[in-house]
Amino acid sequence: MTTAQRPPSVDSPARAKAKSTIYRLAAVAFGHPLPETQQAFADGSFNQALDSAWQAVTGRPWPCQPASSSFAELEAGYISAFRHGRQGRPQVALVAGEYEELLDGQMRPTFLLNVQAFYKHFGLKAAVGDEGLTEEPDHLSAMLEFMAVLTHLEAQALAAGKEPTSYRLAQRDFLKRHLVPLLATIQRQVASEKRLTLDATLVRLIEDLPEWARNQLVELEARVGPYDEKVKGAAIKGRALDQNLWN
């Protein structure tokens, strides 16, 4: 049994590193399952790593979830829910561009351009996934991985005694514009589906991540200021984000 611990201070490299670990582990969990994913769920190493990071950020334990009985069960549940479980379409999309309310009046190419502008600013691009295809930039896993990079850079800056504000501004903007809305939408969609056979760890992440991400956004706005809606307005009009926005 784990016990809650006192989180490190907000400005500690350890806490930023723990946030990065949460985002990175969640990104792995929501990518297409691999046998290694099932093994990490089954032997408890995934839950142990996530619990340690979760406590370091929140002061609360993250409860261990029972694993799927086999990799085949894990993968089948994932494919049915997130890939093509109903008439060739996902029951719950993990891709933001599949939701009209998240496009917010934009055409999807414009929406993707603005997501990719975040990645490009930090020298990143969507990775090649397990099936040899480039992952969609608006896929939940890609967005979580991007936040893992930003919090890792924040941790490095704090450890070196450098100013972390630029990384925190980028986190705030990306959470506000993309990740928090997508997590909330996925949570609602999963709650409305009655026949999902998802792994319990994925279900728990879908339940817990939206509130955790919102709390991260609140914390960031308290430290670096509120999100500027003018930035969103410029993006919706089809202009990519200013490359100097977080400098």
CA 63 to chain centroid:
19
Helix H, strand E, coil C: the string for 50-61 is HHHHHHHHHCCC
CB 236 within 8 A of CB 104: yes
Residues with Cβ within 8 Å of 244's Cβ and at least 6 positions away in sequence, in order, are none
Region 145-164: what's the mean pLDDT?
Answer: 96
Residue in 172, 116, 113, 166 with CA at minimum distance from that of residue 147: 172
CA dihedral 139, 170, 233, 124 (to 10 degrees): -50
CA atoms within 13 A on the CB side of 227: 20
**pLDDT-derived band at 247, boundaries 50, 70, 90:** low
Mind listing the pLDDT tens digit for each residue in 113-131?
999 999 988 887 665 444 4
Check whether 94 has a pLDDT greater than 80.
yes
Closest to 30 (Cα-Cα) out of 141, 159, 171, 137? 141
Q: And the tokens for 228? A: 């500027």
Bridge-partner residues for 95, per DSSP? Answer: 139
Lowest mean pLDDT among 3-7, 38-42, 214-218, 229-233: 3-7
CB 92 within 8 A of CB 82: yes
Q: Give 164-179 pLDDT, tens digit per residue.
A: 999 999 999 999 999 9
Instruction: Return the pLDDT at 28.
Output: 96
Asked if residues 173 and 122 have their Cβ atoms less than 8 Å apart, the reply is no
